[in-house]
Structure 1
Amino acid sequence: MTPTRHGTRPTMNDVAARAGVGLKTVSRVVNGESGVTPAMAERVRAAIAELGFRRNDSARLLRTGRTASIALLLEDIGDPFSSQLARAVEDVAVEQGCLLFTGSSAEDGERERELAMAFCARRVDGLVIVPSGTDHSYLEPEIASGTPVVFLDRPAAGIDADAILSDNAGGTRQGVAHLIRHGHRRIGFVGDLPGIHTCAERLRGYREAMARAHLPVDERWVATGPTDPPRVARAVARLLEGPEPVTALLTANNRITATALGVLAGRDVRPALLGFDDLELAELLTPGLTVIAQDPAALGRTAARVLFERLHGETGQARRIEIPTRLIARGSAETGPPAG
């Protein structure tokens, strides 16, 4: 860092003097505001680099009431779907000159609440939450005080708030219709806990697609519960037993799909398989895995943009935005035992 004439940390006044411009011009460049010519902005940036100037965010907070930071609460940052959401939210935050803080709730509603309140105590400007809890009324005081909250992947419970979701029911209807077109009539559904919004919507789409095709649903074909591998493995094995086993499986998220693939790997005759959520390297399996693919990048970008619209003064009713899914046929849903 080049010393200033005072031998202290350089200020915007020092930058202005070095660049030969006014203090307001430096402020506009530092804060990414318009109204500065490219040549003048370049002079300011050169002076900033030469002096080693760093913006004083504490002073900025006192002046604007904003910390230029937002927080994202996920289920598990290690999950590939969650990490893609995080990257998309961060990209928009960077565009807006904001820092992103991230935490994982581990599907624990109390941990979600603790993290959300901890971020609010640190004065983040807004929150994006993939919810785990069943009551989000604890956020009402924060929202009333001006901290916008956007829910991602699942809607809020107990409050009215912006929600950015995948078209879970529509995507599942499309996937089940695809299986039906390939001759399948006994189609099993393996999902996670039915009280979770995404599972409930995907199960609804499954039932609607079967009803539209005038096909009955034997409740023995539906297996929901925790996503731990032993439970899923037992459910898949049960659906494939008996005199009339299912000829096709719809696995309702990527964790369930991964376990199902392990179960099916040891079988000579495999059912058709359709997974909700894509898997890395899914196209390299034999046969390739057919999926209903979500768009985590679009989900994350949309949630972040809605949050910044609220931060920039957008008012009005809470919005519910559904991002389309996409059926990717790779072979696993188009093969299997004789359908019937």
Structure 2
Amino acid sequence: MKRPTMKDVARAAGVSPMTVSRVVSGEPGVSPGTAARVGQAVRQLGYQRNDTARHLRQKNLGTATIAVVVDDLANPFYALMVRSIEDEAHRRGHVVLVGSTNDEPRREREVIAAFTARRVDGLIIVPTIGSHTFLKQPMEGGTRVVCVDRPARGLTVDTVTVDNRAGAERAVTHLLGHGHTRIAYLGDRFDIWTQAERYAGYLDALAARGIPEDPALVRHELRSHRKAHAALAGLRALPDPPTALFTSNDIITMGVLDGLDHPAPVAIVGFDDLPLAERLNPPLTVVSQDPVAIGGTAANLLFSRIAGDISAPRSVVLLTRFIVRGSGESRARPAGG
């Protein structure tokens, strides 16, 4: 239920918000009849003045809190990124509030509204697929915003991403270099910016070798370990199955690894590193992004804005690292071999 505001009280009493403010503050100059109407509206609506917020607005002070909004806190990548942000905040005497969206725009709005109502000094968000023009109002009120992992649609703010497209292209080119031409792509929702970039990199690598895309080898919408596992089973059941796999994030990679025989009968390169990846059989070759560096960079940008930096918004693109370990290096076997 929405908390009643001073404007709601003013509307119910038929007076201006300034008059309501004077009545609830006990200031003189309001007629007894008007004060009585305001008092009645206050009681009926259950209005409570937010003295903390009022004090902060008057003194132009911060709350020493920031908020982080990510897709899924259970994802190891986001957990490490949030921890990095928390470390930077702790050094500056700030507390971090954390929420997740599951990439649902409605849930994102609800989580952000809850944080901005607490007057956090800043937000670091992994944007969902929807428009983010709704953030302009809290930004006008002084809340600083930094986007991380993806840009936000309809919003021009500091953004920290990685070279998703180039990283994916390098992974697929690596598989092509080992003789694979039937390379499957296993991805998350295509409308997520990072996934669209990685899929574009997959297509770039194929196009550079003159290999047309085969839709039968492409799987999107793999939002869980279970769906990735099922997608792998479908690919392996094809009349002409892939000899190599490119998995576009760590959750998908884990689902695929769970469905593979060991040692794996196909080559595989994943986007995002995994804990103990070097101990798999064979060890996992990956495109690695550094969640600690990403989170730290985003936090430094945010605290710079909180401190008063009013320079033009910046777009920081960090480089990925290609780590060769063995799973992507097996050569394609001839048909029937």
Q: TM-score, normalized by length of structure 2?
A: 0.79
Once residues 281 and 244 of structure 2 are traced to their aligned partners in structure 1, the CA distance between those partners, rounded to angstroms, is 16
Contact 1:191 / 1:199 at 8 angstroms: preserved in 2?
yes
Q: How does 1:117-156 map to 2 (within 5 A)?
A: 117-156=113-152
Match of 1:220 in 2: 216
**Structure 1's 96 and 62: CA in aligned 2 closer, same or farther, altered over 3 A?**
farther
Report the alpha carbon displacement of residue 216 of structure 1 after superposing the two structures with TM: 2.0
Contact 1:112 / 1:133 at 8 angstroms: preserved in 2?
no
Deviates more, 1:311-320 or 1:180-189: 311-320
Corresponding position: 1:181 with 2:173: no
Once residues 140 and 93 of structure 1 are traced to their aligned partners in structure 2, the CA distance between those partners, rounded to angstroms, is 24
Task: Work out which of the residue numbers 79, 90, 95 in structure 2 matches 1:83.
Answer: 79
Once residues 264 and 73 of structure 2 are traced to their aligned partners in structure 1, the CA distance between those partners, rounded to angstroms, is 36
**Structure 1's 230 and 78: CA in aligned 2 closer, same or farther, altered over 3 A?**
closer
Give 3-state SS (helix, strand or coil) of 1:255's partner. helix
Deviates more, 1:178-187 or 1:313-322: 313-322
**Structure 1's 316 and 246: CA in aligned 2 closer, same or farther, altered over 3 A?**
same
Once residues 206 and 129 of structure 2 are traced to their aligned partners in structure 1, the CA distance between those partners, rounded to angstroms, is 31
Report the alpha carbon displacement of residue 337 of structure 1 after superposing the two structures with TM: 4.8
Match of 1:313 in 2: 308
Amino acid at match of 2:249: N
Amino acid at match of 1:214: G
Q: How many residues align?
A: 284
Corresponding position: 1:206 with 2:202: yes
Amino acid at match of 1:305: N
Corresponding position: 1:335 with 2:330: yes
Once residues 150 and 293 of structure 1 are traced to their aligned partners in structure 2, the CA distance between those partners, rounded to angstroms, is 22
Give 3-state SS (helix, strand or coil) of 2:184's partner. strand
Report the alpha carbon displacement of residue 284 of structure 1 after superposing the two structures with TM: 0.8
Match of 1:324 in 2: 319
Deviates more, 1:313-322 or 1:83-92: 313-322
**Structure 1's 238 and 306: CA in aligned 2 closer, same or farther, altered over 3 A?**
same
Report the alpha carbon displacement of residue 132 of structure 1 after superposing the two structures with TM: 2.2
Report the alpha carbon displacement of residue 307 of structure 1 after superposing the two structures with TM: 0.8
Match of 1:65 in 2: 61
Report the alpha carbon displacement of residue 106 of structure 1 after superposing the two structures with TM: 2.8
Match of 2:295 in 1: 300
**Structure 1's 164 and 210: CA in aligned 2 closer, same or farther, altered over 3 A?**
same
Gaps of 5+ in 2: 1-51
Extract structure 1 runs of 4+ deviating beyond 4 A.
Answer: 56-62
Alpha-carbon RMSD: 2.2
**Alpha-carbon displacement from aligned partner over 1:42-83 (angstroms, at most 9, x marks no partner):** xxxxxxxxxxxxxx9998886442111111112222221111
Once residues 210 and 236 of structure 2 are traced to their aligned partners in structure 1, the CA distance between those partners, rounded to angstroms, is 23
Report the alpha carbon displacement of residue 269 of structure 1 after superposing the two structures with TM: 6.4
**Alpha-carbon displacement from aligned partner over 1:235-276 (angstroms, at most 9, x marks no partner):** 22232233432110001111111111111137x861101111
Percent of matched pairs sharing the same residue = 40
**Structure 1's 123 and 190: CA in aligned 2 closer, same or farther, altered over 3 A?**
same
Match of 1:275 in 2: 270
Give 3-state SS (helix, strand or coil) of 2:197's partner. helix
Corresponding position: 1:235 with 2:231: yes
Once residues 136 and 339 of structure 1 are traced to their aligned partners in structure 2, the CA distance between those partners, rounded to angstroms, is 50
Once residues 157 and 137 of structure 1 are traced to their aligned partners in structure 2, the CA distance between those partners, rounded to angstroms, is 8
Contact 2:178 / 2:331 at 8 angstroms: preserved in 1?
no
